[in-house]
Chains A and B, each alone.
Chain A
Amino acid sequence: MPDGSFSHPQERQFNPYTENGGTILAIAGADFSVVAGDTRQSEGYSIQTRYAPKVFRLTDRAVLAVNGFAADGNMFVKKVKQRLEWYRHAHAKDMPLRAIARLIQTMLYAQRFFPYYVYNILGGIEEDGTGAVYSFDPVGSYEREACRAAGAAQALVQPFLDNQIYFKNQQAPVGSSHPVHLPLQDVLSIVIDSFTSATERHIEVGDGLEIYVIVAKGRSPQGLESIRNVQELSTNPEGDRVFVIRRELKKD
């Protein structure tokens, strides 16, 4: 060709990436944060396993959800945890949430030209005691938000959250206004509905659901302890507390 586009032979190259399906989501409350993910891991039409966690406790006030290429995700979580351990040894305290968020952006951007093919959502409690959610793209762009869905069923879940959390396209009753923050019970219902719905309509979502709840220091867990299949993961009941709720999702 005169433009030279065929002057070099095309070589088929090894593709170092794959997609492993699944969906993650996080919602921030006034004094709590919820981070959830399904536990199915798949490649193409094959379910590899029905239990591969995508949500990880980092500290007593930070939980990270990773979604995309599972091998990159596991490696990335491993490295974040290592950096947090080094911080703990250097400073004798846990890294604050907003610092973890910046650390994640730096670590992702460091791989700008061979990216971790992973979407990250970080949830937890800020130093001022407010619930926070940070979402990232694979190369480190990030922002603090009230809610975010990512992964295979992002297109199904995010519009639902926009409607239910941000009250988009909803008119408040005359003489009242939409609440700024929802109570924990309402948030948990929205999370569970999001995943049961995504499971119905997306083949890569299902099997199991893990919901991490991070409650600010000194705040009430709002009846969380009475929910079935709840387990506390935090080491200090006086500080910020982390709980995990495990539920089943449809396996077909």
Chain B
Amino acid sequence: MSWGRPRNDAVDMFNTYPLNQRAQHGHAHDNFAEGVQRTQQPIVTGTSVLAIKYKDGIMMAADTLASYGSLARFKNIQRLHAVGDTTVIGASGDMSDFQYLQGLLDELVTDEFTAGDGNALAPHEVHEYLARVLYARRSKMNPLWNALLVGGVRDGAPFLGYVDLLGTTYQASTLATGYGAHIALPLLRQAVETREDSLPEDEARRILTESMRVLFYRDARSLNKFQIAKVTAAGVDISEPIVLDTHWSFAEGIRGYGAQTQ
């Protein structure tokens, strides 16, 4: 309680606002508490990640841009990451938080390998692990500022899952984060849903490529350079960066872009 403190109209100890500060007894004051910064906003960010199920497993795509606000700061950052031989994760949001998670996962995979029992983490286990880490961090009000897609194949069963900075999780046969959830996801759903088990690889690749093209035209924080990861029974394969050729001649005809004709 605050007995003996000077009376102050701005601090009404019998009111709920402003919240009355209680005197500290017993607790040593942490001089460094104010020096600890928690992530309150992302700094260097990646934009959308897309993923779909297809005949042989799952496919995931993300461009190679890491933005600093509206500045295209790093143009060759890999946002797809293999976890063991059966899983791949794709990250949007804060890239330093993602790199921290990569370290965490690599350590986890190593620990699992060192056990020497022949067991490896399945995609749904990696997803659960990430969900617990992200939920625990949000519960400490110190979130890892990411939206992640987790995909993989284990024992012939494909898996696709989402997890974000709040610890929210879900699974579906088509997934997208950020801007992609608004622009690309409807295209992916139309192309993939009900055909997950029959969709051939080249068509899956075409669907993702075209969706990445649409995103590049509409998302100002995207790049026409991206990677596609494929996970099948044979393992994880992350492609070299693919560069899309783009055409802007149509802009000439749009009032406000090209030369004004009237």
Contact = CB atoms under 8 A, between A and B. Distances in A.
Given A16-B138, A46-B182, A74 B10 contact: no
Contact of B9 (A4, A18, A48, A69): A4
Q: Is the interface of A mostly helix, strand, loop or mixed?
A: loop
B261 interface: no
A113 interface: no
Interface in B15-68: 18, 38-40
Interface stretch (B162-170, B201-209, B243-251): B162-170
Contact of A14 (B40, B169, B182): B40
B137 to A, nearest CB: 10
Interface in A2-51: 3-5, 7-8, 12-14, 16-18, 20, 41, 43, 46, 48-51
A16 B145 CA distance: 12
A14 B166 CA distance: 10
A155 interface: no
Contacts of A69: 166, 168
A71 B143 CA distance: 14
B198 to A, nearest CB: 20
A20 B169 CA distance: 11
A92 B221 CA distance: 58
B141 A71 contact: no
B168 to A, nearest CB: 5
Interface string B182-199: 100100000000000000
B181 interface: yes
Interface string A59-77: 0000000000111001100
Closest 9 pairs between A and B when the two form their complex, measured CB to CB? A4-B10, A71-B167, A49-B170, A49-B172, A71-B168, A48-B170, A52-B170, A16-B138, A41-B170
Interface of A: 3-5, 7-8, 12-14, 16-18, 20, 41, 43, 46, 48-52, 69-71, 74-75, 114
